[in-house]
């Protein structure tokens, strides 16, 4: 056997891309590649890209520009673009950056090993939307030990068509993987050392995969089946749409001990007028009532959200309604973005908000979120919570892990190892982490 070829993969965007990148590394392992940490040493460079906002897409082109000299020095170097920019722009990428050899959309990753073999001879592009479960065909050979946490994609795509969002175009229609495959993959992850699984989907709570018993399984049903896997200690899921929070899923937050008390539930805006223009199909009030029901099932749940400021036609009054909604919910964390017009989406054609005004709103919103995040975190002091330890901290003898509520927690305890799950009494709160002692 010859020397292993070296693969450098850089991942942008969401957790689903992180999961996809892991699968691509495993699949290219079958072609003789091992992953390396820098583009300079690589025989193949793969960018797994994000198209959600304009800045994310532009980053890809500037990154590619930096690889030009590498390719000049090493003509055999293969350069590939995967992910949502690949899906959205296809051959246009090669037109703009001719040193790119391979363009592969998220629905075609099972073809990557074959495409890599062809890439030396000419350009290869695949941005089709096939019907089959690509992950079943993207099985790598790697069975290496893993860290204590892992992502597992259960659903992809979106049928919601929010007026600002490219996801329904880049990731396509909603598709759920069959439950039996997910359960097999989860068992395999647990065998490899994983103790916490985060189920991923653009619309994960709309999951409706074929069950082993026939019939559609809801996400709650899938979670209960995962709950039965020995050695799996924690289950999370992301990202959810408010309209798909079924009664069984809300109930599971109160009754399934492995389902962690943390929920990412984007609302985007607190103004009903803007929500309507966003095609969200819910109101601020219906969202607040939903939060009440979730909190009734699991009172200590920590909530997180996504917000867009400066959506077309957003007035100061609309923005004030968003701040009021945030005040009412009390988020433990939130992601907020300035609206970015995406070509091909309905909102891109509308009257845009003055960018300086949008910047100002973003700053005010982020100040409020930062304050809430700190308050929710500070309220953990004095409580005893589960912590799954992941790695050593900066101080000798220190370990850091994530609490049930997804806070980073530092503990001084030399005997702890990654993968240990312990009860910890929280003693203090710093800007982005908690510290405690073993209970």
Report which of 392, 381, 376, 391 is spatially closest to residue 436, judged by C-alpha positions.
Answer: 381
Tokens of 170: 């880049």
Distance of closest approach, residue 400 Cβ to ligand SF4, in angstroms: 31
Contact 110, 196 (CB under 8 A): no
Could you tell me the smallest distance in angstroms from the CB atom of residue 166 to ligand 5AD?
7
Task: Output DSSP code: residue 296.
Answer: H
- Residue 53 touches which member of ligand SF4, ligand 5AD, none, C-beta under 5-8 Å by kind: ligand 5AD
Segment contacting ligand 5AD by CB under 6 A, of 24-32, 241-249, 335-343, 385-393: 335-343
If binding is defined by CB under 6 A, does position 164 make contact with ligand 5AD? yes
The CA distance from 226 to 212, in Å, is 13
Stretch that binds ligand 5AD, among 64-72, 83-91, 323-331, 332-340 (CB under 6 A): 332-340
Answer yes or no whether residue 165 interacts with ligand 5AD by CB under 6 A. Answer: yes
340 binds, among ligand 5AD, ligand SF4, none (CB under 5 to 8 A by kind): ligand 5AD
From 433, 235, 262, 251, select the one nearest 334 (Cα to Cα). Answer: 262
- Write down the least CB distance from residue 348 to ligand 5AD, Å: 8
- Within 51-70, the residues that bind ligand 5AD by CB under 6 A are 52-53
- Decide if residue 340 touches ligand 5AD (CB under 6 A): yes
206 CB contacts (<8 Å, ≥6 apart)? 155, 159, 174, 176, 219, 241, 244
Taking only Cα atoms into account, the Rg of the chain, rounded to an integer number of angstroms, comes to 22
For 108-202, list the strands marked E by DSSP: 124-126, 149-153, 155-156, 175-176, 196-200
The nearest distance, CB 266 to ligand SF4, in angstroms, is: 7
Among 268, 333, 373, 403, the residue binding ligand 5AD under the rule CB under 6 A is 268
In angstroms, the CA 374 to CA 379 distance is: 9
Residue 202 contact partner, candidates ligand SF4, ligand 5AD, none, CB within 5 to 8 A by sort of partner: ligand SF4
In angstroms, the Cα distances linking 61 to 9, 18, 122, 367, 378 are 15, 20, 21, 32, 41
Exposed / middle / buried, residue 371 (Cβ in 10 Å: 0-12, 13-18, 19+) = exposed
Three-state DSSP state, 398: strand
Is the Cβ of residue 348 or residue 421 nearer to ligand SF4 in the bound state? 348
Distance (Å, rounded) from C-alpha 102 to C-alpha 123? 6
DSSP state at residue 130: -
C-beta of residue 223 within 8 angstroms of C-beta of residue 237: yes
Closest CA to 375 of 321, 320, 429: 429
Show the site string, 226-245: x = touches ligand SF4 by CB under 6 A, - = not.
Answer: ---------------x----
Q: Tell me which of ligand SF4, ligand 5AD, none is bound by residue 108, counting a contact when its beta carbon lies within the kind-specific cut-off of 5 to 8 angstroms.
A: none
Binding mask 247-266 for ligand 5AD (x = CB under 6 A): -------------------x
Residue with tokens 């893993």: 146
Token duo for residue 191: 């065998």
167 binds ligand SF4 (CB under 6 A): yes
Identity of the residue, 161 or 335, whose beta carbon is nearer to ligand SF4 in the bound complex = 161
CB of 427 to ligand 5AD, least distance (A): 34
Q: Which one, 52 or 249, has the nearer CB to ligand 5AD?
A: 52
Window 146 to 165, contacts with ligand SF4 (CB under 6 A) = 158, 160-162, 165
Q: What is the rounded distance in angstroms from the CA atom of residue 430 to the CA atom of residue 439?
A: 20
Give the Cα separation of 280 and 274 in Å (integer). 9
Binding residue for ligand 5AD, selected from 306, 313, 357, 390, defined by CB under 6 A: 306
* Residue span 189-218 as binding mask against ligand SF4, x where in contact by CB under 6 A, dash where not: -------------xx---------------
- By CB under 6 A, the residues from 140 to 159 that bind ligand 5AD are none
For residues 151 and 18, the answer to whether their CB atoms sit within 8 Å is yes
CB of 163 to ligand SF4, least distance (A): 8
Under the rule (CB under 6 A), what is the footprint of ligand 5AD? 52-53, 164-165, 266, 268, 306, 308, 337, 339-340, 342
Which residues form the interface with ligand SF4 (CB under 6 A)?
Answer: 158, 160-162, 165, 167-168, 202-203, 241
């Amino acid at each position: 056997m010859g020397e292993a070829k070296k693969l450098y993969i850089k991942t942008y965007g969401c957790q689903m891309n992180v999961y996809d990148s892991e699968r691509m590394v495993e699949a290219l392992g079958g072609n003789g590649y091992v992953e390396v940490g820098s583009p300079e040493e690589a025989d193949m460079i793969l960018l797994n890209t994000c198209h959600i906002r304009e800045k994310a897409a532009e980053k890809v082109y500037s990154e590619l520009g930096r690889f030009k000299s590498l390719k000049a020095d090493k003509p055999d170097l293969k350069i590939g673009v995967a992910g949502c920019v690949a899906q959205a722009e296809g051959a246009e990428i090669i037109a703009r950056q001719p040193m790119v050899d391979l363009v592969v959309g998220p629905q075609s990753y099972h073809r990557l090993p074959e495409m890599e073999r062809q890439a030396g001879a000419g350009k290869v592009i695949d941005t089709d939307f096939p019907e089959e479960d690509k992950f079943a065909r993207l099985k790598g050979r790697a069975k290496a030990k893993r860290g204590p946490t892992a992502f597992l994609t259960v659903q992809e795509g979106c049928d919601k068509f929010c007026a600002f969002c490219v996801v329904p175009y880049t990731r396509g229609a909603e598709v759920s993987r069959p439950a039996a495959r997910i359960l097999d993959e989860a068992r395999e992850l647990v065998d490899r050392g994983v103790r916490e699984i985060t189920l991923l989907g653009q619309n994960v709570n709309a999951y409706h995969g074929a069950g082993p018993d026939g019939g559609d399984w809801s996400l709650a049903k899938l979670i209960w089946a995962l709950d039965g896997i020995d050695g799996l200690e924690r289950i999370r899921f992301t990202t959810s749409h408010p309209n798909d929070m079924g009664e069984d899923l809300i109930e599971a937050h109160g009754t399934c001990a492995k389902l962690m008390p943390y929920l990412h539930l984007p609302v985007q805006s607190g103004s009903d007028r803007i929500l309507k223009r966003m095609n969200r199909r819910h109101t601020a009030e219906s969202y607040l009532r939903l939060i009440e029901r979730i909190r009734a099932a699991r009172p200590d749940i920590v909530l997180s959200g996504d917000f867009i400021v400066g959506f077309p036609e957003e007035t100061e009054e609309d923005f004030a309604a968003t701040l009021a909604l945030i005040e009412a919910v009390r988020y433990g964390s939130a992601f907020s973005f300035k609206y970015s017009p995406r070509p091909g989406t309905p909102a891109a054609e509308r009257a845009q908000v003055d960018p300086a005004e949008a910047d100002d709103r973003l700053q005010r919103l982020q100040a409020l979120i930062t304050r809430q995040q700190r308050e929710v975190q500070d309220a953990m002091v004095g409580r005893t919570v589960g912590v799954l330890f992941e790695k050593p901290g900066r101080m000798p003898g220190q370990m850091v892990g994530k609490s049930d509520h997804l806070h980073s927690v530092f503990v001084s305890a030399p005997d702890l190892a990654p993968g240990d799950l312990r009860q910890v009494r929280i003693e203090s709160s710093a800007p982005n982490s908690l510290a405690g002692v073993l209970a």
